[in-house]
Amino acid sequence: MHQKHLFVVGLDEFNRQRLESLRGAEHYRFHGVIDPAEVYETEIFPIAEMLERATRALEAFDGPIDAIVGYMDFPVSTMLPILCERFGTRTTSLESLLQCEHKYWSRRVQREVIPDFIPAFTAFDPFDDDALARIGEAGLYIPFFVKPIKSSGSRLGFLIDSPETFYLAIAQLREQIGLIADPFNTVLEHARLPPDIAAVDGHFCMAEEIIGGWQCTVEGYVFQGEVVSYGIVDSLRYPQVLSFFHYRYPSGLPGHVQEKMTELTRTVMTHIGYDNAAFNIEYYWDEVQGRIWLLEINTRISQSHCDLFEKVDGVSHQQVTIDLALGQRPDMPSRQGEFPMAAKFFYRVFFVDAVVTRVPGEAEIAALEAEFPGTLIALQVAAGQRLSTLPEQDSYSYALAHVWMGARDETQLLANYDSLASRLGFEFDDIRG
């Protein structure tokens, strides 16, 4: 069996080690395409130039190109179908991917098959001075939620509870939306779009009815037309705010709710025509109203969940991405890991801004990881850094560290995290609360 060559867009050393521990990895050789700093450490994405550099690097490779993959959101996710088409490797079509990632187009196709499980919505131009009135004409009234047509994480998402908060959000959107809108429009130029979708480009936003409840993510894939959901991860927020506290696996949702989410997932992904690629879908379960809401579709595995699946099931679900890219049915185990439960915690501060004057040292981190077996701590800031320079943050807080932990149950998990978090020695100056 010859060694297969897999090219990973934005490959870093942390994920290389994970990939090399997958089932069958002894037969694979992983190559990086595009420096990881260009997709992790910046908010400037020159997509056209990145695609050309990736193309030149792949063309220069002296050997077979067996797969081109990624595990990141924008811009990586949207580059993959373009590169895969150029080099004849496997993934879903660009048009099916955009029916997930272009939030307006996605809501339109969702409405065709699961209209009772999505909120009321409309697209609007944030540069239109009459935008608020036009949203009202479409039947949406304050309060509602605003987000860009294409975003990453929770960036530039706003809860609108008054005209004042709308206009404050509009000011930020006008200033910052181009960072993703311009490169996203470059991707749209590669696709065949219906005229009414083409008219709503990356500079537009969505206004949506407020939905909420118990948030979770269905991780899945489509292999040769078959939609498979293999795990549900809960997304738990800090009290009274929109910022995530931790992701937890496996889900604590009632069985009948999980089954319905799996059914909805199969319906919508089949309708879109998504195929031979991984995805995840975020849902809410409103227990009071007895309703399930589809929040959004992401065209990748969640990188944040890799360690959770490894701890609980025995292998990172990057296994799914690699197997699909090689044309194989994913070889994903279940409940073969070291821990019955696992979580990724976000250690946050809720400042407007501040300068970090101290972060935990290597010895401190090593001691904490040793005290709680299975724990990984990844700092997101450095001493001397101003918090407002951190990329990919939500609109309400800053994540200073990511902490992955395993435990026997939820009680032990939360107790261990509280103990660890109390000893993470961050210090700040010039705090703006």
Domain identity same for 166 and 191? yes
Which residue has 């030149």 as its token pair?
Answer: 56
Domain identity same for 55 and 124? no
Q: What is the per-residue pLDDT for 40?
A: 78
Residue 44's pLDDT band, with cuts at 50, 70 and 90, is confident
Domain identity same for 280 and 341? yes
Domain count, the chain: 3
Q: What is the mean pLDDT of residues 252-279?
A: 98
Per-residue pLDDT at 421 exceeds 80: yes
Domain boundary among 176, 208, 240: 208
More confident residue, 331 or 281: 281
In a domain, 108, yes or no: no
Domain identity same for 177 and 219? no
Report strand pairing: 341-349 vs 398-407.
Answer: antiparallel
pTM: 0.91
Domain identity same for 298 and 387? yes
Q: Which CATH number does the domain housing residue 181 bear?
A: 3.30.1490
- What pLDDT digit, counting tens, does each position of 367-385 carry? 999 999 999 999 999 999 9
In a domain, 175, yes or no: yes
Domain boundary among 191, 208, 225: 208
Per-residue pLDDT at 43 exceeds 80: no
Domain identity same for 251 and 332? yes
In a domain, 323, yes or no: yes
In a domain, 115, yes or no: no
Q: What is the per-residue pLDDT for 154?
A: 67
Q: Which domain holds residue 154?
A: 120-208
Domain identity same for 45 and 191? no
H or E segment to which residue 272 belongs:
helix 255-272
In a domain, 398, yes or no: yes
Residue 155's pLDDT band, with cuts at 50, 70 and 90, is confident
Reading the block at residue 308, the tokens are 């959770």
Neighbour count for residue 206 (Cβ, 10 Å): 24
Q: What is the per-residue pLDDT for 153?
A: 63
- In 3D space, the residue among 345, 349, 317 whose CA is nearest the CA of residue 333 turns out to be 317
